[in-house]
Structure 1
């Protein structure tokens, strides 16, 4: 059943993407709309069946909420002021997250990493803000199209942080102030190579904690095997002890009778 739902989600996602092509819509628009309505009907029946089977327990799982909200949004008529909901139909593809256990584990790991990511994001925002104030003060007069005001400086520094043509920005400033390379190199080192890598490290660490590595899985399996073997050995020792004590008990009883 789960594999069938995954297949429907994939097919529906592909057909929604195909609907963006005017050429395909002219040739097979009715078929694509029919597949879309059929997929929505299957999703609705599936959610209704799960509600009937689990009743109140259905709402105890956040992933069930996630699936239900996506289906409800798809059921709202996409007409008039709600026509924007038609573009949100592709959100049905997100149901793959709840349908595929491995994807679900990744998302759960990311959610557990949110507190650590929030701290890194706060540090990064603080660094960009400080650098933007310094850049506006130092370079606002010589390169006004990049650093004339704080909002523009923030955008420029965000662009530099992503590595988007930062060399051209630095060259424009260095034509007036040759020492400006020190500012840009220091900013890139702190924002890109330190803060962003810390952000990635927090996410990777959370995913490692959420899902054991192959070595840990193998070690756990070997430990379980050893435990079973020890339990079997203990059972055999108990049987041997019982056999050894049984004859002695029998001789004791015969001696009492005599």
Structure 2
């Protein structure tokens, strides 16, 4: 079998839906195996899990090799972040470190093999990509939220420190208490405690909750959803381009061209009639 035929076989295997399902199943089984190792097991089960772990590592190594040789241009394989991530995880998993001081690191690396689910399933990649691209916009919202936390933390520490030093002893502890209030974790107990000394302290809590839990968190959700819609539209356009189907923008451009041609024809008709009359 020549190189081109072998490459065609690799491409066929990589594009096979059954192969993708098998890879996903092995990733899920790998996650279950990592969880099983956290329990106490007999020597026999330890031997079985060790054998299965090496089998999974060999399977992932084979799968990465197939994907690499199926790439039309080998240099483009490492231009994809997920390919680099998968390769690093698999290569580190191959290193035998179970009987050395690196055993804990080796186990942690095997935990990260579960993240390969993201690189395999396009929908998960889209979600993670949307979250990463939303980070710059989320950064400003988080900065503004930190400012609100800092202001309210300073106010809470100044007013309520003598009431409960454990919750309001300094500004860092006060901000941690405010995070508890924002997540609604027994926040009424904190409020009623300060209301015994300051009856109108409920204003402090309600305004903070409206700003943090209602306003800023909804802004975060809105930003993520907006970016996700943009990424969905981008992915849809790329898929239609691969299939050769026209997008809405292409159809709109074609419609505009047709309208322009019709207008040009309408404008040329009177000129043609006038020319005929002059010739007559």
Place the TM-score, normalised by the shorter chain, in its bin. Answer: 0.7 to 0.9
Q: CA deviation at 1:45?
A: 2.5
The alpha-carbon deviation at position 72 of structure 1 amounts to: 3.0
- Comparing 64-73 with 32-41, greater Cα deviation is found at 64-73
CA distance in 1 between counterparts of 2:121 and 2:21 reads 9
Q: 1:50 to 1:159 in 2, by over 3 A?
A: same
Q: Using the TM superposition, give the Cα deviation of residue 204 of structure 1 relative to its aligned residue in structure 2, in angstroms.
A: 0.9
Tell me the number of residue pairs that the alignment of Structure 1 and Structure 2 aligns.
227
Of 86, 96, 100 in structure 1, the residue corresponding to residue 117 of structure 2 is 96
Structure 1 position 26, deviation (Å):
6.0
CA apart distance, 1:128: 0.6
Query: TM-score normalized by structure 1?
Result: 0.77
Structure 2: which 5+ residue stretches go unaligned? 1-18, 241-245, 255-280
Structure index of larger Rg: 1
- What's the RMSD between the two structures over aligned residues? 3.1
- Ranges in structure 1 where 5+ consecutive residues have no aligned partner: 228-258
1:190 aligns to 2:211 (yes or no): yes
- Residue aligning to 2:83: 64
Change (3 A) 1:173 1:81: farther
2:58 maps to which of 41, 52, 72: 41
Name the residue aligned to 1:5: 23
Which residue is 1:199 aligned to? 220
Structure 2 distance, partners of 1:41, 1:99, is: 17
Cα displacement (A) at 1:69: 2.3
Query: How far apart are 1:147 and its partner, in Å?
Result: 0.4
Distance 2:164 2:119 in 1: 49
Residues 1-258 of structure 1: matches in 2 within 5 Å?
Answer: 1-22=19-40, 28-52=45-69, 53=71, 54-76=73-95, 77-85=97-105, 86-212=107-233
